[in-house]
Structure 1
């Protein structure tokens, strides 16, 4: 139970995108007795104003750049660094110089040197730096940790972890999206698998030898049908059969809704199937439940990474003009679409991490082999 004498933490947010606004921002809205977000820096006018409205932030504390916000000095307890992966380093260093504790979104930074400098700065300034490795706090992964430490499966001998990225998620984020190029974001082992790497080291410790190999085999121009246009919106003859046809994905949110067919609840599975086969029902439901407007016009992630104007007109404009409307095989991406990494630890334990972008269903698979049993 929260003590009435404990004041909520105050925070500034540098980056009001999918993490800053739609993850941590939503948490703050739902838990105002724990945290208040009092200032924001975000270059996108629409995103910044949405964040202001959600958290009652005045124009005087809303800025286009992180530099402008940090020029105000230390005005809160914590700084949330939720900008692009390659943009973490400078604002994090500056914020610590001002005395802020940090919530630093993962991955920490794209280079080892920057990570080391951030660690040194945190020690020098006595700042608490919490990295956004949120799976450590998820009940399932905490339970795995408890089982390993209890000795129920004996001494761990081998660890297998598979990051099965669904075809639509991989296409959105790592072929068309923000993480498709190593130079402008990170290698995919950091951009997508940093959670998995964190879990492995949390369970097993630090490896002394790592080997990794991968390649870009499928999401490339050579895989495109010969008669496919540059953009999905240019009259693609494969629109009905292509799983990555952009207008269907972003306009209807079909793949998002399909997640409901994979839940443990029979009622939700049944309702989702009925809705997907009768999309007109969404218009009726919306009349009685205004929040259900998303069933008619999908306006959440991943659409919010494509455009701030989530109206049908705004989305179609983004598809015709931006990278998310490109043919999935013609996006100029260069990160690998499958990768295998092997690890050897000081205690003789071996580990394997597999990542690929071809899964039908999104999810991680885990097998841990011990001297007394197997956890899977």
Structure 2
């Protein structure tokens, strides 16, 4: 057992590196401590440094500068933009750091394989941030499936309800709007869900197909008379996607407004909406990622799954139905409820909401606690492992789904897909 706190460096102090993990680490000061940061934005760098008392000599503008220094921590949090993960992740492991690696671990298959090779060569631990596995909700759901309460597992219907304003913020105006600059939304948003389905089913996918497109958020759907920016728009008050509605809630300084300015003030927000990307009309952005997609998956054990990713929902939520030979389970992630309906028997309802949740239904905090458990106390639970190798399958599912979507829903044989892309891992 390690008596001293785990030392952490953060590479990318944005909404995940600082707002999520940085704030959660504050809850465990005797067990984990941030001692270094690499962040090009000086305001963010100063904010996290002040919050965690990071010495000046451990504050860097770039990850290259931080990793050029002799190793001075145990764990590196890689929370930069998706396309930037591979090189710093590999170098950090070669320097001796374990990793908390944000998902997706890479935006192409070659990048994923490079990270796995480095993980196994350096013998360093990677905790891919598949935080849904760590939630009370999905752990209980998996337990119920494996208990046999509903008999043999037949199929699953899973829906990611992104929420209309969340999609407008992140995938129309925001950082994940363009597949060339980042990656397809089935990877950037829904690799979480690919992983959960793979984990719940307990088998590798045999084949899949996917349909989807950018249905709504495009110039052809801009209302007549609308302006290209919400502040100038005469019909802004009638638009549910109005940036004014989303970002100017009185006295509110949390997500998503805290992601568009470094300091939330009325003046800063107004200026951001006036000239920045988040003030644009949702029909006049440079977005190309799909806003509605369905993916059907057949696993090697015969279980069939349908997954829907939709921008067009009022709430941000995940809902799931699990079908068994002797019953079904209906789950609502936001409500934190799992209802077991055994055929011809009474219903059982489980309240699995983590009331002290921080993010992702408590998954963010549970991941931090698990890392502490592994690195400080050498206590592991292989049932929820999110190593790079374990996390590869869900990435491959997302890449294959996108290939299918781009080819009119062509059925992708996963064995052939892996061979064609040089994936020979068991």
Instruction: Sort the TM-score into its range (normalised by shorter chain).
Output: 0.7 to 0.9
Deviations, residues 198-250 of structure 1 (Å, cap 9, x unaligned):
1001111210112111011111111111211110111x121221111112211
For 1:10 and 1:145, locate their aligned partners in 2 and report how far apart those are by CA, in whole Å: 33
Does 1:146 find its partner at 2:143?
Answer: yes
Q: Give the alignment's Cα RMSD to 1 decimal.
A: 1.1
Aligned twin of 1:277: none
For 2:260 and 2:316, locate their aligned partners in 1 and report how far apart those are by CA, in whole Å: 21
Aligned twin of 2:272: 318
Aligned twin of 2:115: 118
- Give runs of aligned pairs for residues 76-155 of structure 1, distance below 5 A: 76-155=73-152
For 1:48 and 1:210, locate their aligned partners in 2 and report how far apart those are by CA, in whole Å: 43
Aligned twin of 2:50: 53
Corresponding residue SS for 1:19:
helix
Aligned twin of 1:268: none
Tell me, yes or no, if the aligned pair for 1:166 and 1:361 is still in contact at 8 Å: yes
Aligned twin of 1:360: 314
For 1:303 and 1:222, locate their aligned partners in 2 and report how far apart those are by CA, in whole Å: 28
For 2:93 and 2:261, locate their aligned partners in 1 and report how far apart those are by CA, in whole Å: 32
Moved more, 317-326 or 240-249: 240-249
Aligned twin of 2:259: 305
For 1:228 and 1:247, locate their aligned partners in 2 and report how far apart those are by CA, in whole Å: 14
How many equivalent pairs are there?
329
Aligned twin of 1:230: 228
Does 1:351 find its partner at 2:305?
Answer: yes
For 2:228 and 2:237, locate their aligned partners in 1 and report how far apart those are by CA, in whole Å: 17
Corresponding residue SS for 1:21:
helix
How far apart are residue 72 of structure 1 and its match? 0.7
Q: Pick from 257, 281, 299: which aligns with 1:327?
A: 281
Corresponding residue SS for 2:14:
coil
For 2:73 and 2:241, locate their aligned partners in 1 and report how far apart those are by CA, in whole Å: 43
Q: Pick from 209, 212, 217: which aligns with 1:211?
A: 209
Unpaired stretches in structure 1, ≥5 consecutive residues: 253-295
Deviations, residues 137-166 of structure 1 (Å, cap 9, x unaligned):
111111001001111111111111000111
For 1:75 and 1:183, locate their aligned partners in 2 and report how far apart those are by CA, in whole Å: 35
Aligned twin of 1:288: none
Aligned twin of 1:158: 155
Corresponding residue SS for 2:15:
coil
For 1:298 and 1:27, locate their aligned partners in 2 and report how far apart those are by CA, in whole Å: 21
Corresponding residue SS for 1:247:
helix
For 1:73 and 1:177, locate their aligned partners in 2 and report how far apart those are by CA, in whole Å: 36
Corresponding residue SS for 2:231:
helix
Aligned twin of 2:328: 374
Deviations, residues 150-193 of structure 1 (Å, cap 9, x unaligned):
11111111111000111000000000000000011111001111
Aligned twin of 2:247: 250
Tell me, yes or no, if the aligned pair for 1:173 and 1:179 is still in contact at 8 Å: yes
Aligned twin of 2:167: 170
Does 1:186 find its partner at 2:140?
Answer: no
For 1:339 and 1:63, locate their aligned partners in 2 and report how far apart those are by CA, in whole Å: 40
How far apart are residue 318 of structure 1 and its match? 0.8
For 1:59 and 1:24, locate their aligned partners in 2 and report how far apart those are by CA, in whole Å: 21
Which 4+ runs in 1 deviate beyond 3 A?
Answer: none
Tell me, yes or no, if the aligned pair for 1:297 and 1:311 is still in contact at 8 Å: no
Q: TM-score normalized by structure 2?
A: 0.76
How far apart are residue 361 of structure 1 and its match? 1.2
Unpaired stretches in structure 2, ≥5 consecutive residues: 331-426
For 1:64 and 1:108, locate their aligned partners in 2 and report how far apart those are by CA, in whole Å: 22
How far apart are residue 309 of structure 1 and its match? 2.8
